[in-house]
A and B are shown apart, each in its own frame.
Chain A
Amino acid sequence: MLVVENLQLKLNGNSIINGLDLHVGKAEIHGILGENGTGKTTVANLIMGTNNYRPTGGRIVFEGEDISGLSVSQRAKRGITLAWQEPARVEGLTVRDYLSLSAKNGQADRIERYLLMVGMEPGQYMDRDIDATLSGGERKRIEMASVLAMRPKLAILDEPDSGIDIVALPLILNGITEMNKQGASVLLITHSEKVTEVAHCVSILCAGKIIRTGSPLETSRWFKNNCLTCPHINEPLY
């Protein structure tokens, strides 16, 4: 479904992404696990085309098409979407409006269901604005519901667990599982080994490069033993 080959990004003369290779299969939950500053969000931006990031080398191929030169909208229309680590807030846009925009392809009547999937009561939230009156956790769950409503082919979830309390975390993980049940592939970007438990496969990112790929259990152990104790983050020895 998604093939990233030798992806590179240089910003102001600094190499941020250094020959990254990644394969995400159809209906696969693929975790990307990495410490802060290893390039996780940059990878998300490069695949989605956001933040004006364009690769300085390599290819991003989605369903056989190189999408590197496409706009964010064009990528979304091909079935890719992104849930931000810190989702934007938009004054005057209600939760109902936001979910309806995502679900405009015939799913608008089911938007309440998507809120329930992430543990939010529609009657309490549907007419609220997605503005500063929502807590960070509420906004993240609405973001997840919006991705569910879009029924994408590939959902890139950037740190879906950050800012989420212990009670809400299972709801977020449930949202990821539901997305996958709908047939979506998920690129699950996180720094938490706990979150990668829902993945089928996990890659470890260091200094803008994938340094290891394997099962959640195996990579999680490796990450704990090597990355969390590593004195030279972003200077990989492997």
Chain B
Amino acid sequence: MVRYSVEKEYQGMIDAYQKAGGDKSALQSKDTAKLVVHENRVLANDGIRGLKIDTEETASGVKVNFTIEKGTKIDRPVHLCFGLLPKEGLQEIIMKVDAQDDSEVSVIAHCIFPNAVKVIHKMDADINIGANARFDYKETHYHGEDGGIEVIPKARVRVGKGGVWQSTFALSQGLVGRLDYDFEVFCQEKAVAELVVKAYGRGSDDIKILEKIHLDGRGARGMAKSRLVLSDRARAEVRGETYGNAPYARGHVDCMELVNGTEAVAVAIPMVSVTVDTAKVTHEAAIGSIDRKQVETLMARGLDENEAVDVIVRGILK
């Protein structure tokens, strides 16, 4: 339920989300589990059977305990909406996730900062995925055009035997500002981890990505994937690390950065390590410009050069 005193604030968040291209019906539906947090205030918290979302407001943000009970399979995605509408502020989310054995859930997080001039958004997550549980997490950011924002998402994820963790972090609407992404996953036997980061850096954006996967159990599998496009004076450093520490573990690091223009700077540092002879970890990293032939193909269908580049970038970051 939405508390009356915060109704206006809640509407502001939904309007900003819709303006950024989101589907607001997902945040308004009564059948959908959701959590909406503006600054350090919880505006909506609607759980459903088998899913418990406990929150505690702090001076600078919110503590969230997110529990999916054993064997619970949630059909519809759970929506989390975090944001800050004023130009300045700090939002710290401390998140504890417990996806118990055999549970299944898909979570879509919307992070909305349309007016940020001096804003910090931090997330510290401690995530436990039980045996044979499955957790899909998609986080999409909607920023304004000022770039005065720091986004610092950090997560430590443990995936139990046969469990699956899939996460996608996307930041391609508005300026990134400063991004310091740091996700580390530990996989037990036959567990699977897939980390994907997509970002479009423009202006003076400064992007740091660290994706780290430890394949600690027999037959564990992991992939750290990143897709970045940089224009203007944007800079990015991507580190993808995968450690094959158990028999028959399989891992892959896949990093692609495209640089559009002469001032943007892209760095890719893939790191792979194997400590058992039957484990195998591979990597590929590519930094290049936007393919001229792709651009001309779309121009030959009538698109202007900038429109063509935009279509290609949106495709890569989709």
Chain A residues with a Cβ under 8 A of chain B: 48, 50-51, 71-73, 75-77, 81-82, 84, 87-93, 97, 101-102, 104, 129, 146, 150
Enumerate 13 A-B pairs (CB-CB under 8 Å) in ascending A order.
A51-B296, A73-B303, A73-B305, A73-B308, A76-B303, A81-B302, A88-B291, A88-B294, A88-B296, A90-B297, A92-B316, A93-B311, A102-B302
Query: Once the chains bind, are B300 and A76 in contact (CB under 8 Å)?
Result: yes
Interface: B284 (CB within 8 A): no
Q: How many interface contacts (CB-CB < 8 Å) are there between A and B?
A: 66
Interface positions, chain B 277-318, Cβ under 8 Å from A, are 291-294, 296-305, 308, 311-312, 314-318
Contacts of B305 in A (CB 8 A): 71, 73
Q: Which single member of A81, A91, A92 contacts B301 (CB below 8 Å)?
A: A81
A153 to B308, CA, bound (A): 21
Q: A92-B314, A92-B315, A92-B318 known; A104 and B302 CB under 8 Å?
A: yes
- Residues of A contacting B312 in the complex (Cβ-Cβ under 8 angstroms): 90, 93
Chain B residue at minimal CB-CB distance from A77: B302
Contact of B299 among A73, A87, A90, A146 (CB under 8 A): A73
Q: Other than the known A72-B300, A102-B301, what 12 A-B pairs have Cβ atoms closer than 8 Å? A: A50-B300, A51-B296, A73-B304, A73-B305, A76-B303, A84-B293, A90-B297, A91-B315, A92-B316, A92-B317, A102-B302, A150-B301
Total interface residues on B, using CB and 8 Å?
22
Q: How far is the CB of A144 from chain B (nearest CB, A)?
A: 13
**Main SS of the interface on chain B?**
helix
CB distance from B13 to the nearest CB of A (A): 29
Name the B residues within 8 Å of A81 (CB-CB).
300-302
Enumerate chain A residues within 8 angstroms of B311, measured Cβ to Cβ. 90, 93, 97, 101
What is the minimal beta-carbon distance from A2 to any residue of chain B, in angstroms? 15
Contacts of B291 in A (CB 8 A): 88
Interface positions of B from 125 to 141, Cβ below 8 Å from A: none
Q: Report yes or no: A72 in contact with B314, Cβ–Cβ below 8 A.
A: no
B302 pairs with A76, CB closer than 8 A: yes
Chain A residues within 8 Å of B308, by CB:
73
Query: Which residues of chain A are near B317, meaning CB under 8 Å?
Result: 92
- Contact between B318 and A48 (Cβ–Cβ < 8 Å)? no
Query: Known contacts being A92-B318, A93-B315, is A101 close to B294, with CB within 8 Å?
Result: no
Docked complex Cα distance between A81 and B298 (Å) = 10
